[in-house]
Amino acid sequence: MPAFLKIEDFSCGYEKFVLKNINFETERGMLTGIVGPNGSGKTTLFRGITGELDVKSGCVFLDGKSVHSMSFREKAKHMAVVSQHISATDITVEDYVLMGRLPHRKKLRFFETSEDYTIAYEYMKLTNVFHLKDKFMSKISGGEQQLTNIARALAQQPQLLLLDEPTSHLDITHQVQILNLIQKLSQEMNLSILMIIHDLNLAGEYCDYLIMLNDGKIHKKGLPEEVLNYKDIEDVYKTIVVVEQNPVSKKPAVFLVSEKILKQGNGSRI
């Protein structure tokens, strides 16, 4: 199968920070995690893919088509972004999700069609926020806001979904709920998903493929068990860790050790 998202020799960035020579590919139905320390270029990569930043060189292909030759609208029909921040608060959950239909609305159409409602309702049910539809965004919890955000992105009916730290600031109940949903989306809807994620354990548990960024370059890419090893993590994060295997899922699990223990010499390493 040909790669669905293909990033070739891609460089983009700002005056002071540049992402250099990024190369990777993902397929439909694949959940790819992007990990790396703060300032390693994760968000810059997203901005480059969505075309928010000017490209310095290279190309991003979506289903064989260059993303940067697409119009804003066309892009929004192909890819949706779930960002960390929810800025509108005086809007109902239903209206928020309906916003996702904007790129599909005809230019001179002011009102939502019944198809828009059907699609919005479908994804609200899928993300389990339908019962909140008349509530204001400011009145629901952080986890519910994030689910609504995902429903809004799905209403765009994209083929590529970009998620920027979807589980930050959430308790484990919501973290697991949201990651299970994301995993389900990639498998059942055959969506290609890129997800920035800080928690290496969750990244290892849920992602099919990992890309580890460091200092504007890809440090390592591969299966979670290939990328998440103590050596690469220590190189990139400058932190001593212990990597074991999750006894149930057999996925890599990363443990941190406090300085006090390390000084006592009790830290054992695999």
Partner 1 sequence: MRKKYLRWIIFLSTLILLGVITFLVGLTTGELSISIFDIPGIFRDKEGIEYVVLNQIRLPRIVLGIAVGGGLSLSGAILQGIYRNPLVEPYTLGISGGAAMGVALAIVFALPAVFGAFILPAAGFAGALLTIFLVYFLGIRHGNININNMLLIGVMVSFVASAAMMFLMAVTTSENLHSIVFWMMGSLDEPNRLLIRITLIIAATGLVTSAFFSGTLNALRLGESNAKHLGINTGASIRILFVIASLMAGVCVAAAGVIGFVGLVIPHLIRLIAGSDYRILLPGSFLGGGIFLIICDTIARTIISPNELPIGVITGMAGGIMFIVILSRSKSNFKMS
Helix (H, G, I), strand (E, B) or coil at 127: coil
- Sequence-distant (6+) residues with CB within 8 A of 137 are 86, 88, 89, 90, 91, 92, 93, 96, 145, 148
81 lines the binding site for partner 1 (CB under 8 A): yes
Residue 174 phi/psi, 5-degree rounding, is -75, -35
Q: What H or E segment, with its residue span, contains residue 114?
A: helix 114-126
| Residue with Cβ nearer partner 1 (109 or 269) | 109
Question: Quick one: 21 or 113, whose CB is closer to partner 1?
Answer: 113
Closest CA to 49 of 5, 82, 101, 103: 5
Cross-strand bridge partners of residue 26: 5
- Is there binding between residue 53 and partner 1 (CB under 8 A)? no
Tell me: does residue 16 bind partner 1 (CB under 8 A).
no
Distance CA 80, CA 97 (A): 12
Distance CA 165, CA 83 (A): 8
Q: Does 88 bind partner 1 (CB under 8 A)?
A: yes
Please tell me whether residue 90 binds partner 1 under the rule CB under 8 A. yes
| Cβ distance to partner 1 smaller for residue 106 or 250 | 106
Residue 85 found at the interface with partner 1 (CB under 8 A):
yes
Write out the E strands in 73-207: 79-82, 160-164, 192-196
Distances (CA, A) of 177 to 167, 171, 213: 10, 10, 26
Tell me if 91 contacts partner 1 by CB under 8 A.
Answer: yes
Window 120-139: contact mask with partner 1 (x via CB under 8 A): ----------------x-x-
159-188 residues near partner 1, rule: CB under 8 A: none
- Between 111 and 247, name the residue whose CB sits nearer to partner 1: 111
Strand partners, 253: 244
Residue with Cβ nearer partner 1 (119 or 228): 119
157 binds partner 1 (CB under 8 A): no
Using the rule CB under 8 A, which residue among 66, 89, 141, 239 binds partner 1? 89
Shortest approach of partner 1 to residue 84 CB, angstroms?
A: 11
- Judged by CB under 8 A, does residue 220 bind partner 1? no
Range 33-52, binding partner 1 (CB under 8 A): 50, 52
Count of Cβ atoms closer than 10 Å to residue 45 Cβ: 27
Q: Which amino acid is at 99?
A: M
Stretch that binds partner 1, among 99-107, 140-148, 195-203, 208-216 (CB under 8 A): 99-107
Angle at 54 between CA 50 and CA 57, to 5 degrees: 100
Q: For binding to partner 1 (CB under 8 A), which residues are involved?
A: 50, 52, 71-77, 80-81, 83, 85-91, 95, 99-100, 102-103, 105, 108, 110-112, 117, 136, 138, 156
